[in-house]
Structure 1
Amino acid sequence: MNTGRRAELVALYADELRSKCALEPDAALLNRVVDGCGPLIFAPDGGTVDVDDPAELDRIRRNFLVRKLALPDGPELSEAIRASVEMYGTAGDPKYRAVLYYMLVVQLGAEAHHP
């Protein structure tokens, strides 16, 4: 993994959390979320989320929240995704996967579940 590029991305994600979501990121948690995303963050399509695609949001619920974080599946997960997307903003700029995942971890109180 390119550590220089990774550091640039972490700084970008932290800035996104501050400027677009009005959140002050916990650096250690953000780094764990980025590590959990793996090389996916370096891929142009993998590093971003199409928040207008219900199938992609469902994959986030199933693959990230239920499988990776081992949270019980239920309507609160879909509501958390909706609220996080709303907070991040739905128009225009790309929505970074690591930023959305960070917001979900914090919103659901799942910090202890994230590797």
Structure 2
Amino acid sequence: MGKRDELIATYAEDLKTKCGMEPDMDLLERVTIGCGPVIYDPDGSIVAASQQSELALIRNNFLIRKLSLDDGPELMAAIRSVIDDYGRDEPRKYRAVVYYMLVKHFGRENLYR
């Protein structure tokens, strides 16, 4: 098993145990690949959910650019909802998991097929 496969297994476990979701493994793999090399960076692979600048980057770079969503208050509301579902007290919120949950939230799975 390669490093990426190990990370995907970790992400799937977080989705099951911390988020209460049964992951679509194919979609999770594609979202993880879409994150690029940041998944291997100890700092970049984690979402700093308490930093507004981090949330703004997710909105701008992922939701608007990658998922082609129109900007509006619902984007930040969705990010906050995903963070709540992951667990505000959870210290390690993996970027790939947050992105996966946002893809599911907005029904944008077709972008990863």
Q: What is the CA-CA distance between 1:58 and the residue it aligns to?
A: 0.6
Greater shift, 33-42 or 89-98, is seen at 89-98
* Aligned alpha-carbon RMSD (Å): 1.2
Q: What is the CA-CA distance between 1:49 and the residue it aligns to?
A: 0.5
- Structure 2: gaps spanning 5 or more residues: none
| Counterpart for residue 84 of structure 2 | 86
| Counterpart for residue 11 of structure 2 | 13
Q: Cα deviation per residue 1:58-89 (whole Å; 9 max; x = unaligned)?
A: 10000000001111111111111010000001
| Counterpart for residue 30 of structure 2 | 32
| Counterpart for residue 104 of structure 1 | 102
| TM-score, scaled to structure 2 | 0.95
- Structure 1: gaps spanning 5 or more residues: none
- Alignment length, in residue pairs? 113
Residues 27 and 92 of structure 1: is their aligned pair in 2 closer, same or farther, counting only changes over 3 Å? closer
Contact 1:70 1:113 in 2 (8 A): no
| TM-score, scaled to structure 1 | 0.94
Q: What is the CA-CA distance between 1:112 and the residue it aligns to?
A: 1.4
Is 1:113 the counterpart of 2:76? The answer is: no
Identity of aligned residues (%): 52
Q: What is the CA-CA distance between 1:54 and the residue it aligns to?
A: 0.7
